[in-house]
Amino acid sequence: MTEEEIKNRFKKVCICRSISKGTMIDAVKNGARSVEDIRKKTGATTGNCKGTRCTPVIKEIIKEYSS
Ligand code: FES
């Protein structure tokens, strides 16, 4: 794993619920294929902004890591 990848893993994607990119990537690797799946597995999108900030980023992560 490169330094860049390590930093990425700790970066908060869902700021409201304090959920890192690494947690999202693991969810995708464990079968999550939609924002709804990610919500169920991690609790992301359920914070104060109701997913306004994190949903677009989650979609990108799903696209990037689901193949
Ligand atoms: S950043 Fe994810 S719910 Fe607000």
Q: What is the pTM of this model?
A: 0.91
Q: How does pLDDT run along the chain (67 residues), one tens digit per residue?
A: 899 889 888 999 999 999 999 999 999 999 999 999 999 999 999 999 999 999 999 999 999 999 7
Residue from 52, 59, 60, 61 to probe ligand 1 pocket by mutation (most atoms less than 8 Å from CB): 52
Domains of the chain: 3-65 (1.10.10.1100)
Atom of ligand 1 nearest to the CA of 15: 1
The b/e string for 18-50 (b: 16+ C-beta within 10 A; e otherwise) is ebbbebbbebbeeebeebebbbebbebbebeee
